[in-house]
């Protein structure tokens, strides 16, 4: 019986500890990226990857710390708080998934606006710029709907009054990488917005990233579903372990209370002589 309790306790501790270490690493990376930036950069949660890492890491760090310390010290108060927060997060995740399925058009519209906002702030934040470049290289895409979305950015705006050297261009991450190319041509996207799609397609990706990401998600539906299900199952596992440890602690406390009550009455009974006791003097 004691082995089962220890198994529950240390399994919960190890699960929380792993996420605790990961969240601490996220916070460290986010703080380092934030310090390394310039002073006048974008400081918005939706378009600042460094700030997003710090916030997500801090929330996860706090939640998993409650689980770690509560499991290790058998603190029912911390375990109950951890259990309540984790159940709330699980309900919100399930609600977000159901809402996203029922209101797909609204979600897609909001996602498109968010991605367009990121394009507008492309040169304002180094981390955001690197993130967009990575996505465009990874999914072989350019812009949100198509390559001409880059005209929304002040540096790439296709206008006769735009003094930028990158006017009517696209970032180098939109360019098609030639075979055996060893030197990266950062000017390969210059002037590509002025070309028609069938001509621009020869040197840059013209399909938007939103469409490519949707295609990737559909083609890798089993992978996405598997990762999502694994995360939810892990959360359910930690919820069950926390609930089991709380029940076990309460059971032990109840047994101790009952034992203390029995000992108390036994001590009281010892004050009285048994009935019909013999008091013969020697």
pTM for the full model?
0.74
Q: Would you state the pLDDT for residue 35?
A: 80
The model's pLDDT over 96-152, given as tens digits with 9 standing for 90+, comes to 888 888 888 888 899 999 999 999 989 887 878 888 999 999 999 999 999 999 999
- Is residue 282 over pLDDT 60? no
- Is residue 18 over pLDDT 60? yes
40 by DSSP, 3-state: which?
Answer: coil
Instruction: Output the CA angle 180-183-185, nearest 5 degrees.
Output: 110
Q: What mean pLDDT, rounded, does the chain reach?
A: 85
The model's pLDDT over 38-62, given as tens digits with 9 standing for 90+, comes to 555 555 555 577 788 889 999 999 9
CA 77 – CA 245 distance, rounded (Å): 12
pLDDT bucket at 275, cuts 50 / 70 / 90 = very low
93/37: higher pLDDT: 93
Decide: 204 and 189 in contact? Cβ < 8 Å. Answer: yes
Tell which residue, 33, 49, 108, 66, has the closest CA to residue 245: 66
CA 205 – CA 191 distance, rounded (Å): 14
CA 74 – CA 132 distance, rounded (Å): 46
């Amino acid at each position: 019986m004691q082995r089962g309790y220890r198994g529950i306790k240390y399994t919960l501790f190890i699960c929380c500890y792993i996420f605790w270490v990961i969240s601490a690493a996220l916070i460290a990376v986010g703080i380092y990226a934030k310090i390394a930036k310039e002073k006048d950069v974008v400081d918005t949660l939706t378009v600042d990857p460094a700030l997003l890492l710090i916030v997500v890491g801090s929330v996860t760090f706090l939640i998993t710390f409650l689980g770690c310390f509560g499991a290790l010290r058998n603190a029912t108060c911390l375990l109950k708080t951890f259990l309540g927060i984790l159940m709330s997060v699980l309900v919100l995740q399930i609600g977000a998934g159901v809402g996203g399925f029922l209101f797909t058009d609204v979600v897609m519209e909001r996602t498109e606006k968010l991605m367009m906002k990121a394009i507008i702030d492309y040169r304002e934040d180094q981390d955001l710029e690197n993130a967009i470049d990575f996505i465009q290289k990874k999914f072989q895409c350019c812009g949100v709907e198509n390559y001409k979305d880059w005209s929304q950015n002040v540096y790439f705006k296709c206008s006769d009054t735009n003094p930028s050297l990158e006017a009517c261009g696209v970032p180098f991450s939109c360019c098609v990488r030639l075979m055996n190319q060893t030197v990266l041509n950062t000017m390969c996207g210059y002037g590509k917005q002025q070309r028609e799609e069938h001509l621009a397609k020869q040197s840059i990706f013209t399909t938007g990233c939103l469409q490519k990401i949707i295609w990737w998600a559909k083609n890798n539906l089993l992978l996405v579903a598997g990762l999502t299900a694994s995360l939810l199952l892990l959360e359910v596992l930690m919820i069950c372990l926390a609930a089991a440890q709380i029940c076990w602690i309460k059971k032990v406390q109840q047994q101790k209370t009952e034992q203390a009550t029995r000992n108390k009455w036994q001590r009281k009974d010892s004050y009285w002589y048994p009935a019909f006791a013999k008091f013969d003097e020697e």
